[in-house]
């Protein structure tokens, strides 16, 4: 594939009714390669009329999709997974060119995407409700799981394909149509990925590019029925508020500020490699990155030396070369991380590794949005760097004197997405997994995901769950059905009420009659009508 031709073909399009078409909008925004800062294409900031047409198509397609058998939907989704595998090399290269991540990480993202689709293809047909023990003899009581309708998916750029599929695969398996509004920094890759859905009913999966206004229109549109959002807290709040106006169900996957605890029983060399990965994977642009390192004083010096040594080995450069770390997604993010670092230093933190843009890059990468893996010490809990999300390659390390202190610091946060602890002590494992307030806890296994297990946060990190069986339920309504096959009269509670069962006033005119005044332990009918 010639990528210049492909990027030119995708530029300015939307994916509607099963194909790429030119957007009707003449407003476009440049797409830059973050490794070189060179323009590689543009995406359309779509017109709001285009949103209306897209929503109409989605609702039409959804009715057709839901009318199929569960087995047919499952087969179609398995075909999507096969198609993803066929497209993955091309999409992965585009993903690296547009977001900067090393090609290996892009290829992994595509692979995880395919397994998630296969997983939901089966889960979606496993059960669409359950039969209940009836509350009336001779009746059938059961629940039916039904789709929401048209689901709007709004995304960030750090895992644009994986995060899309975690929601879209579950939503489609549940019988919904999907409209995705990708991040402004991953629009062309998402448009390319849409080819995985070419064989589904036209309009079932669609992609509209643009900024916040396009997302906001999709969210508040009266004919969209649910919103799955992944991104920052502020946008998540705005979306949750807009949805509240219509009681529209929402899944909010927002920011994280995960702790990474190291205890003395951990193998320190492994914990240091794990910390390096947790801190700098995807240049720290992972919602579950390690962002606050709490290290026990007994192993602090040993761990810090090993952490620095491991991080020093990381190779920085273009994601299409043999590197471990690529550039950040865009200049604005790199500049923001520089501000976070400057503020931390101003508040007393010391840089022991990195701390600036790399100086030794080849000429063609000089303008790229790179920042060195950076480790900080002398960090105090009240500093802003520990209180806010970093979402970049900065790793603040704090010395603690006990597990209790580490857990207290972990929980002293507005966020509650995930947390990692390195220990081999069973008591510490039990304590950490019970006491840490977060959606996920990893013990010696940082940042892992599992298609079959729920992913999501607590506190300001979000509400609702994706992945696993819970992630399917997120995109379904439950309908209760009760059937009396004989259509019999339900005299045990219908009109007319019998006189025997109506309220009987106590015989107040004869207060000495103890039987009539206060003995409610006996059935009224028996006591009043002897």
Q: Is 156 in the site for ligand NAD (CB under 6 A)?
A: yes
Among 253, 291, 310, 389, the one annotated catalytic: 253
Q: Does 154 bind ligand NAD (CB under 6 A)?
A: yes
Beta bridge partners of 207: 15, 180
Name the segment binding ligand NAD (CB under 6 A); options: 34-42, 248-256, 397-405, 427-435.
248-256
CA distances for 33 relative to 37, 102, 318, 364, 470, angstroms: 5, 13, 10, 11, 37
Q: What is the Cα–Cα distance from 214 to 7, expressed in whole angstroms?
A: 22
Please select the residue that binds ligand NAD; options are 77, 91, 157, 436, rule is CB under 6 A. 157
Give the whole-angstrom CA distance, residue 466 versus residue 352. 38
* Of 201, 218, 172, 238, the residue nearest 471 (C-alpha): 172
Binding flag, residue 36, ligand NAD (CB under 6 A): no
**Using CA atoms, how far apart are residues 276 and 268, in angstroms rounded to an integer?**
12
Which of 57, 250, 255, 438 touches ligand NAD by CB under 6 A? 255
Contact flag: residue 391 with ligand NAD (CB under 6 A): yes
Contact code string over 262-301 relative to ligand NAD, x by CB under 6 A: -------------------------x--------------
User: Does position 57 bind ligand NAD by CB under 6 A?
Assistant: no
CA 126 to chain CA centroid, Å, is: 23
SS (H, E, C) 431-481: HHHHHCCCCEEEECCCCCCCCCCCECCEECCEECCECHHHHHHCCEEEEEE
Judged by CB, which is closer to ligand NAD: 12, or 201?
A: 12
- What is the distance between the alpha carbons of residues 290 and 279, in angstroms, rounded to a whole number? 5
The DSSP letter of residue 363 is G
**Residue 390 Cβ vs ligand NAD, minimum distance, rounded to whole Å:** 10
| By CB under 6 A, residue 239 contacts ligand NAD | yes
Give the closest residue to 468 by CA, choosing from 164, 160, 123: 123
Distance CA(389)–CA(376), nearest Å, equals 15
Our finding on whether 111 is near ligand NAD (CB under 6 A) is: no
What is the token pair recorded at 421?
Answer: 């602890």
Choose which of 12, 215, 284, 392 interacts with ligand NAD (CB under 6 A): 215
Residue 211 vs 249, nearer CB to ligand NAD: 211
Total binding residues toward ligand NAD, as defined by CB under 6 A: 31
253 a catalytic residue: yes
Per 3-state DSSP, what percentage of the chain is helix, strand, and coil (rounded to 5)? 40, 20, 40
Determine the residue with CB nearest ligand NAD: 215
Pick the stretch among 35-43, 151-159, 303-311, 445-453 that binds ligand NAD (CB under 6 A). Answer: 151-159
In the complex, the residues that contact ligand NAD under the rule CB under 6 A are 154-158, 163, 181, 183-184, 211-212, 215-216, 219, 230-232, 235, 238-239, 253-256, 287, 389, 391, 417, 457, 461-462
The catalytic residues are: 253
């Amino acid at each position: 594939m010639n990528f210049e031709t492909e990027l030119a073909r995708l530029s300015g399009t939307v994916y509607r009714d099963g194909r790429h078409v030119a957007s009707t909008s003449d407003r476009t925004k440049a797409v830059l390669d973050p490794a070189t800062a060179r323009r590689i294409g543009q995406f359309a900031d779509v017109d709001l009329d285009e949103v209306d047409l897209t929503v109409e198509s989605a609702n039409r397609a959804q009715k057709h999709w839901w009318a199929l058998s569960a087995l047919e939907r499952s087969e179609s989704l398995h075909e999507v997974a096969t198609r993803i595998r066929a497209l993955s090399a091309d999409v992965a290269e585009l993903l690296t060119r547009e977001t900067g991540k090393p090609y290996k990480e892009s290829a992994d993202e595509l692979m995880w995407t395919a397994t998630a689709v296969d997983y939901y293809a089966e889960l979606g047909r496993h059960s669409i409700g359950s039969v209940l023990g009836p509350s009336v003899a001779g009746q059938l009581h059961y629940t039916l799981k039904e789709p929401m309708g048209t689901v709007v998916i709004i995304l960030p750029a750090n895992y644009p394909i994986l995060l899309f599929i975690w929601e879209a695969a579950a939503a489609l398996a549940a019988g919904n149509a999907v409209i995705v509004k990708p991040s402004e920094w991953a629009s062309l890759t998402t448009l390319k990925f849409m080819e995985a859905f070419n064989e589904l009913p036209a309009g079932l999966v669609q992609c509209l590019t643009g900024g916040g206004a396009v997302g906001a229109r999709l969210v508040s549109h009266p004919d969209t029925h649910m919103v799955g959002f992944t991104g920052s807290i502020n946008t998540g709040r705005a979306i949750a508020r807009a949805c509240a106006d219509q009681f529209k169900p929402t899944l909010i996957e927002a920011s994280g500020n995960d702790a990474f605890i190291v205890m003395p029983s951990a193998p320190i060399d492994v914990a240091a490699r794990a910390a390096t990965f947790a801190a700098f994977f995807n240049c720290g642009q992972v919602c579950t990155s390690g962002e606050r390192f709490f290290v026990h004083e007994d192993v602090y010096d040993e761990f810090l030396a090993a952490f620095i040594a491991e991080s020093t080995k990381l190779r920085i450069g273009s994601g299409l070369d043999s590197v471990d770390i690529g550039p950040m997604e865009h200049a604005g993010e790199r500049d923001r991380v520089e501000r976070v670092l400057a503020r931390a230093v101003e508040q007393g933190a010391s840089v022991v590794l990195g701390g600036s843009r790399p100086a030794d890059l080849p000429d063609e990468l000089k303008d790229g949005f790179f920042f060195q893996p950076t480790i900080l010490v002398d960090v105090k809990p009240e500093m802003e760097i520990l209180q806010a999300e970093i979402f970049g390659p900065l790793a603040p390390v704090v010395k603690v004197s006990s597990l209790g202190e580490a857990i207290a610091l972990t929980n002293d946060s507005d966020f509650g997405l995930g947390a990692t602890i390195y220990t081999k002590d069973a008591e510490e494992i039990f304590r950490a997994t019970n006491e840490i307030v977060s959606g996920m806890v990893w013990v010696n296994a940082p940042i892992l995901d599992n298609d079959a297990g729920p992913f999501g946060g607590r506190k300001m990190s979000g509400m609702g769950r994706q992945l696993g069986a819970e992630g399917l339920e997120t995109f379904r309504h439950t309908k209760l059905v009760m059937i009396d096959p004989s259509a019999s009269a339900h005299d045990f509670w219908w009109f007319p009420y019998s006189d025997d069962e109506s309220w009987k006033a106590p015989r107040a005119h004869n207060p000495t009659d103890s039987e009539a005044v206060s003995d409610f332990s006996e059935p009224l009918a028996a006591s009043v009508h002897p």
